[in-house]
Amino acid sequence: MSETTAAPQRYTSFAEFYPFYLSEHSNRTCRRLHFVGSSLALLIAAAGLWRGQPIYLLYALLCGYAFAWIGHFGFEKNKPASFKQPLYSFMGDWRMWFQILTGQIKF
């Protein structure tokens, strides 16, 4: 791992964290699994809101993280960034999702 992507103990800003986050998602299959899991999580959360069933939010989280963790443990061969910095990692998931959606990151 290069010096610029090595993980310090704690990041002080999301802008500082995001390049590290992307380096932890260099495997294309891992990124695809993140995108699919996050997309399904959005649909599940929307269905829960539509039906007035808050338990769907838990299902959405479980779905999103299941896909992401399969990507990390099975393809990326690293620990998910959510283990290191949960809030910034959650933010990174959605930023990467948007960048994949808009073609800024290769799907």
* 4 compared with 55, residue with greater pLDDT: 55
Q: Does residue 15 contact residue 91 with C-beta atoms inside 8 Å?
A: no
Query: Whole-model pTM?
Result: 0.86
Contacts 24+ apart (CB under 8 A), 52-58: none
Q: Give the pLDDT confidence score for residue 9 in this predicted structure.
A: 63
* Residue 84 pLDDT: 81
Q: Domain extents for the chain?
A: 33-107
pLDDT in tens, 41-97: 999 999 999 999 999 999 999 999 999 999 999 999 999 888 889 999 999 999 999
pLDDT in tens, 21-32: 999 999 999 999
From the CB of residue 80, how many other CB atoms can be counted at a distance below 10 Å? 20
Q: What is the pLDDT of residue 29?
A: 97
